[in-house]
A and B are shown apart, each in its own frame.
Chain A
Amino acid sequence: EAGVAQSPRYKIIEKRQSVAFWCNPISGHATLYWYQQILGQGPKLLIQFQNNGVVDDSQLPKDRFSAERLKGVDSTLKIQPAKLEDSAVYLCASSLGDLTGDYEQYFGPGTRLTVT
């Protein structure tokens, strides 16, 4: 079974530029999560989708971050404009979710963003 795929793996941008990350969850997984993991810290949930609907985006800085999950499969996370404090690893995870009650999350390798 293929795991969660993310791209790019690494990205370096200057502050005030925009950037987008892509995630392809495990096939059949209805729930998709985006996390931000700052160096030396645990992952912080940014947004959770159930199919293509948003379940929780309470910690998403909506003035600069946006995310979408078209057709309930792939998802993109965008930052515009980026700030220095956005330097982090952005992790995508997926789980079977509400249909089965199985919320075990499977994580992708992450995208390491450096904002200079």
Chain B
Amino acid sequence: AQTIHQWPVAEIKAVGSPLSLGCTIKGKSSPNLYWYWQATGGTLQQLFYSITVGQVESVVQLNLSASRPKDDQFILSTEKLLLSHSGFYLCAWSRGANTGQLYFGEGSKLTVL
């Protein structure tokens, strides 16, 4: 069975500080990977997706970056956090775009002060 793990579960960070959120998928080779963000009271907004190792496509520019250093790992980061980065970050995987079915992780809650 496939599992998806996100870390950390929650972070409280200062404006201007760096951030790194991680996501690991086990039990599925070459998954499509996604980062979603949900502002408090907002909708799920797709940030990035990756079809293969080393390739990441940006969907929305939020002064964030993403990388896929390994087949099973997806990293979301920034060097300088903004207040507007606060929210809930969800990593997801799918078998391919045509299926459209996403399997979400449990999320990371980020509070920027």
The yes or no verdict on A and B being binding partners is no
Chain B residues packing against A (C-beta within 8 Å)? none
